[in-house]
Amino acid sequence: MKLPTAWAPAPQKIEARIDMSADVAGKGKCPECRQPMEIVSVSGSRMWACAKDRIVLPLPNDHQENEKA
């Protein structure tokens, strides 16, 4: 079925806002707002969490208990 051209969406360039690089998410910063994430316990696992953006990431295997983030 062919849609009328008035209904067809125009091609749009989509850019990701999430930065999962080692310098951002790998250092405990929120990949959306780039603010430090807090360490929380989720279902028995320790994770980084950003309540503002509702993002939760697992801590890396080599994360030390005495590290802030």
* Domain locations along the chain: 32-58
Backbone angles phi, psi at 25, to 5 degrees: -65, -35
How far is Cα 16 from Cα 37, in angstroms, rounded to an integer? 20
How far is Cα 68 from Cα 54, in angstroms, rounded to an integer? 20
Convert the pLDDT of each residue in 5-62 to its tens digit.
Answer: 777 677 787 777 889 999 998 899 999 999 999 999 988 889 999 999 999 999 988 8
**pLDDT value at position 1?**
67
pLDDT band at 65 (very low <50, low <70, confident <90, very high): low
Eight-state DSSP code of residue 2: P
The model's pTM is 0.66
**pLDDT value at position 14?**
73
How far is Cα 11 from Cα 23, in angstroms, rounded to an integer? 32
60 class by beta-carbon count within 10 Å (0-12 exposed, 13-18 middle, 19+ buried): middle
pLDDT band at 67 (very low <50, low <70, confident <90, very high): low
